[in-house]
Amino acid sequence: MMEVLKALVLGVIQGLTEFLPVSSSGHLELARVILRDESTAELGLLMSVVLHFGTALATVFVFRKDISSLFSRALARDQKSVNYLLWIIASMIPAALVGLFFDDILDQLFNKNLLLVGGMLLITALLLWFGDRSHQVERALGLKSAIIIGLAQALAILPGISRSGATISMALLLKISREEAARFSFLMVVPLIIGKMSKDVLDGALIAPDIDLLALGAGFIAACISGVLACQWMIKIVQNAQLVYFAIYCALVGSTAIIISQI
């Protein structure tokens, strides 16, 4: 029962923080420290795959109409829709290259390193602060801006850098409209999550001793439901220019994590 409760907590944290600009990876590392999670590396990776699958489904659910319309129009050879799909693919390249060539190094960073998480949360706070205060002239999204936003997504592989916070803030700094910044940020992550999950599965992530299916199921459902709610909430937050509140939150949590790491 304790493992199920831990999975529920981790699922809710993953679902909320995958979309809210506070870093899901950073908060999961903090949660594992607080919950004294002693799971093996294999079980930890398996749970991570399951939780990310939950948030991927949450994204697809929230943007199901956009995704359906986008592919329908692209198949009908609508150039704008084709270009948009190409921009999504282009935005994936930086993160995909980082994951492909530096996967082993990155895995070593996810080891309850509070100092690193705290420092990266402070960087997230700065990105949110400047992004939220960016003057809007609403430039159109293009290939160049998609790649730059993709670079921000690659940076967010580090624990403590919020993926949604980094990509949305970068889009706002590039003068993309708030609505489009949120939409593109969430759509661009779906194929990336699926790709990362596929790689983990092929690498043997589903092979782990003493698999607790009930705990995995609980974590998946919690991540999916909380993810849907957080995704819808985040869209409104971006539109209402309220990222600054999350900047303050990240600064407080990041500072606390750094202080605790030095005790």
Exposure of 52 in the CB half-sphere (CA atoms within 13 A) = 23
Q: Which of 45, 26, 54 is nearest to 103 (CA)?
A: 45
Tokens of 78: 């609508």
d(CA 164, CA 243): 11
d(CA 252, CA 204): 37
Q: Which of 230, 128, 141 is nearest to 180 (CA)?
A: 141
What are 177-203's pLDDT values in tens digits? 888 998 999 899 888 878 777 776 676
Domain that holds residue 33: 2-261
pLDDT > 70 in the chain, percent: 86
Q: Across the chain, what does the average pLDDT equal?
A: 84
Place of tokens 């400047």: 130
- pLDDT at residue number 40: 44
Question: Domains in the chain: how many in total?
Answer: 1
